[in-house]
Structure 1
Amino acid sequence: MRICGIKLTHDAAIAVVEDGRLVFCVEQEKRSNNPRYQTIGNLDAIVATLAEHGLHPKDVDQFVIDGWVGEVESRLQLLSGVKPLTLKGAPYLEIHADRLLTSFDHVGLMLDGRVFPYSSYAHVTGHVMSAYCTSPFAIAGEPAFCLLWDGATFPRLYYVERHGARFLECLFPMIGHAYASAGEHFGPYKTADRKSWNLGIAGKLMAYIALGTHEEGIIAVFQRLYDEHFAAHTEFLAPRYPARTLYGALHDFFDAAEVRLKGKRPEDVLASFHYFLERLLIRGMAVALQRLGFAGARNLCISGGCGLNIKWNSALRTTGLFDAVWVPPFPNDSGSAIGAACCALTTQNGVVPLKWSVYSGPALLRSDMPSEWKARSCNMHELATILASDRPVVFLAGRAELGPRALGGRSILAAATSAAMKDHLNDIKLREHFRPVAPICLEDRAPEIFSPGTPDPYMLFDHQTRAEWRDRIPAIVHLDGSARLQTISRASQHKVAELLVEYERLTGIPLLCNTSANHHGRGFFPDAATACQWGRVEHIWCDGLLWTKSVRTQPTSSG
């Protein structure tokens, strides 16, 4: 059985699952240097993606489209070739709390001149199923709670077991976009133009708050305003209360906060708001679990855009409320195509695990290299020697990683032994000085260097750098002493693991700086030629070849 899951709206992607195994997932931002949050406006993109993997639309047994905005159904206007059409889909939220896997079945998906039937599931259902089906709980056949907190939703709690999934309750009435909205009112991203949802602010704020200190007095102000603007309004908890109205209520909330917090440092205000939301989340979860009274193992999956907040993930994990916590590498909408396919898989077979690898993105393209760049063979020992001399390397290996974070397949790697390296990497990436550079570390040595240093293959939890290591690897230590750690087993077959082992033999240090290889505001480099044309790093390693400039040229102006 071959299923094609499709996400048409922002963070668009196409995924194919065959006999319970993820064959590929191509996020559109990772094609042709596309901008982040790319959509699919023409169904020809689906035909092209299938063709790149040796498939025709007629080779697919079932097409599934992720649901989107709408109370009863969603309507998506797009093209198939030059022909305009409207596709009907499931809504954003489930219609019935105990029938999460209800499909909306239609005909009208026009691909390569032929019309195909398709199914659609609620957007939230895709989030829940992508998180659970990729989890260790699914493999063990254990049930799990699923926390879904997306930009346009309140934090929603679900329960998934072998026979299905159901919605339990909302934890509190504040949409996930509150975090980014705070940045539109305070700090370096403050703006008077609040008509659109800025999807790029939240991750930057998570770094920026390290400049500040949370203050109980500021948190108390937010609590009073929350009680006044949100908690007192029970109508907000209506299942389909308009998200745009809630967005307006957020700005009223922050307008009032600006008045009451006048004179406070914005970094302290934002740090305090972060901790206010964290406490609200933990308190809401604790109250819900006590009220629901579920017996047995307490497992938690986290999904939705807020699942990228490593500090909240860690806070939930350390509460003791759960036996184990799982976050997939694509908790945001980049995992929605996989989620749509998992919905169909579950409908047919019950809730079963998906066989998958994080390195299931697009393969590297073959393209003409700029004439001023020359290639030679380069093994991992030679590459480790280059890195040990404080020279960064663009590292492109195999298929791209899924989700928004570079995990060694499309990375810029560098030695972490110089504090200046963090500034250098932020400069070439055109990033703010306070942005962290992540470490990629051999898993067995991570506890020696970080606390807790537990396995974190997808960079989704918070770790503190141990004091005795901070002076040895200053480039990856954030302003608050934390690190956005990625771990990888030294037994991994991925080339980045082999490189780390060689670098460790050479230097005694089992980690490197790791940041994404991309133009500013765009997806990962699709090929070595793009990295060469970018020209901000002088060494490009791509599947065994090291490319270097034979003539010094000026880098392009884009980051």
Structure 2
Amino acid sequence: MSRPTAPDIVGASCLSHDAALAVVRDDEIVYAAHSERFSRQKMDRYLCDGLLDDVEAHVRIPFEIAYYENQNLKRSRELFAGQYRRLLTTPGARSYLARFPLLRGRPVASHGHHFSHACGGYFTSTFRDASIVVIDGIGEWDTLTAWRASDRTIERVLTVRYPHSIGLFYSGFTDRCGFRPNEEEYIMMGLAAFGDDRYVDHIFDDFIADPRPDRLRFRRNLHRGIRDWRTDLTDIENIAASCQSVTERLLREVFQWVRTELPSKNLVYSGGVALNCVFNGMLAREGWFDNIWIMPEPGDAGSSLGAALAQRGEWVQWRGPYLGHDIGRGLNIDGALRSLVKGKVIGVAHGRAEFGPRALGNRSLLSDPRGPGAKEKVNRIKKRELFRPFAPIILEEHAPEYFEMPLQRVPYMQFVAKCRKPEAIPAVCHVDGTSRVQTLNAAQNASVHQLLNAFYQQTRCPLLLNTSLNIKGEPLVNSAEDARRFSELHGIEIF
């Protein structure tokens, strides 16, 4: 490794939701982790001592701090929106960061919310030219932006501002369906597969004034909630399906505009809406772009890394999402294999934790996907809704045999694919015949690949059910102590 030529940069995202810190040194991502994994408070908006201790073990002093948004600009929007309690109770970013001895006295630079998203995607990609799209609930004022990127220069070409927001639209319907907005949108997305989009016309009439991305307008401020919308409708599966359908139409308009107006066919997509894997699969199948890159953590936690990269202004080497806390032990492949072959649900907790919302093999629950009761067994352990889907992790070379792959490689569970053999792997095939696929090769994760390959050699099944090592409402297992506690409470052997 070459000697560092510039100070480390610590990127910080906090005081809103899902706080995180990242450390960048030259062209290397040294560390990135969520605060919730240490505090054990889901979507924790504050930093915590455990996270700071981990950062201190990885960062070189002196270092600089990059903050993920312009707080003064954000406060002007909060004032406009009447969010007086948040405005009065949220501390200033600089004074808040100075509460922590490690961060006190360090130079702090702030970067725009959407610019941090854009840089996080662009500078972790391999693209020298790119069309960048950022879509979320809300930044300071921006809710949707598009950017032209070429040779380190990122130029904004499209802006949609608050209160008009595709992200807030989806969150509003998440709330209307009885789930927690800004947290459980993925649950509504899973529920949508059980319904039909019979209320699309109602939603367009009631909410959409102009769907064109350069003129996008909603008829009401969705930030204030829509629980009063057509209260006579109680079939939430059809409401969810209709919202998903309208969202897909709006997003198609956005990406068709980008394809037409911007020169690059390399797409970088970021922001919380980029976690909608159902639309992502549709987008990939359309073939509008030659390459698509979605950072495994495209949401606000990922903007801790994005802010650091905005400050650095250079590409980093993306070596994978295993950037968090190191549990200090390897994977017991032989023990895990013996239990899986016997039909047991097992946990794996080894190496460094994933950065992002998906468990990708280092903090996972794994199970044989072939048995008729496998899905129900895992759902009982996780104490979650029975309608929610599970994802498969599959040897990359076997993926086309089981799924209609939207892309050759989908290593981060970001794209939904049609299942070719639903009867063979019922535990990982959703009610609509799709799966959120994770392909795996040895370069991504050597030990999990070895386990999966060994399972294939014994069973001729090249995939496993892979879900997060947690129960509903809790963050993923992070430390060895978390793993021990989970095993004792839920009777799951962890390897």
The 3-state SS of whatever aligns with 1:176 is helix
Question: How big is the shift at 1:312?
Answer: 1.4
The 3-state SS of whatever aligns with 1:412 is strand
The 3-state SS of whatever aligns with 1:361 is strand
Partner of 1:278: 248
Partner of 2:353: 400
Query: In 1, are the aligned partners of 2:383 and 2:471 still within 8 Å (CA)?
Result: no
The 3-state SS of whatever aligns with 1:331 is coil
Amino acid at match of 1:284: V
Question: How big is the shift at 1:383?
Answer: 2.5
1:523-534 equivalent positions in 2, closer than 5 A: 523-534=475-486
- Which of residues 30, 34, 45 in structure 2 aligns to 1:27? 34
Change (3 A) 1:144 1:109: farther
- Is 1:480–2:486 an aligned residue pair? no
Change (3 A) 1:323 1:20: same
Partner of 1:168: 157
Change (3 A) 1:307 1:397: same
Amino acid at match of 1:274: Q
- Which of residues 132, 148, 159 in structure 1 aligns to 2:148? 159
Partner of 2:455: 503
CA distance in 2, matches of 1:110, 1:362: 19
* Structure 1 residue runs without a partner (length 5+): 77-83, 90-105, 190-196, 367-376, 543-559
Query: In 2, are the aligned partners of 1:162 and 1:352 still within 8 Å (CA)?
Result: no
TM-score, normalization by structure 2: 0.85
Q: In terms of Rg, which structure is larger? A: 1
CA distance in 2, matches of 1:88, 1:491: 40
Query: In 2, are the aligned partners of 1:15 and 1:26 still within 8 Å (CA)?
Result: yes
TM-score, normalization by structure 1: 0.76
- Is 1:314–2:303 an aligned residue pair? no
CA distance in 1, matches of 2:279, 2:123: 22
Partner of 1:442: 395
Query: In 1, are the aligned partners of 2:211 and 2:253 still within 8 Å (CA)?
Result: no
1:320-359 equivalent positions in 2, closer than 5 A: 320-346=287-313, 351-359=314-322
Partner of 1:133: 123
Query: In 1, are the aligned partners of 2:26 and 2:316 still within 8 Å (CA)?
Result: no
Provide the identity percentage: 28
The 3-state SS of whatever aligns with 1:333 is coil
Deviation digits for residues 11-40 of structure 1 (CA, Å, limit 9, x no counterpart): 1111111111001112111225x1221122
Change (3 A) 1:537 1:419: farther
Partner of 1:247: 223
Query: In 2, are the aligned partners of 1:457 and 1:488 still within 8 Å (CA)?
Result: yes
- Which of residues 106, 125, 136 in structure 2 aligns to 1:150? 136
Partner of 2:46: 40
- Is 1:212–2:202 an aligned residue pair? no
CA distance in 2, matches of 1:86, 1:378: 42
The 3-state SS of whatever aligns with 1:168 is strand
1:226-237 equivalent positions in 2, closer than 5 A: 226-228=207-209
Partner of 1:463: 417
Change (3 A) 1:74 1:330: farther
- Is 1:179–2:131 an aligned residue pair? no
Question: How big is the shift at 1:278?
Answer: 0.5
CA distance in 1, matches of 2:389, 2:416: 12
Query: In 1, are the aligned partners of 2:391 and 2:466 still within 8 Å (CA)?
Result: yes
Change (3 A) 1:163 1:414: closer
Query: In 1, are the aligned partners of 2:135 and 2:271 still within 8 Å (CA)?
Result: yes
Question: How big is the shift at 1:520?
Answer: 3.1
CA distance in 2, matches of 1:22, 1:165: 21
Change (3 A) 1:155 1:492: closer
Partner of 2:363: 410
Question: How big is the shift at 1:365?
Answer: 6.0
Q: Out of 519-528 and 407-416, give the one that drifted further.
A: 519-528
Q: Out of 298-307 and 150-159, give the one that drifted further.
A: 150-159
Tell me the matched-pair count. Answer: 468
Amino acid at match of 2:66: V
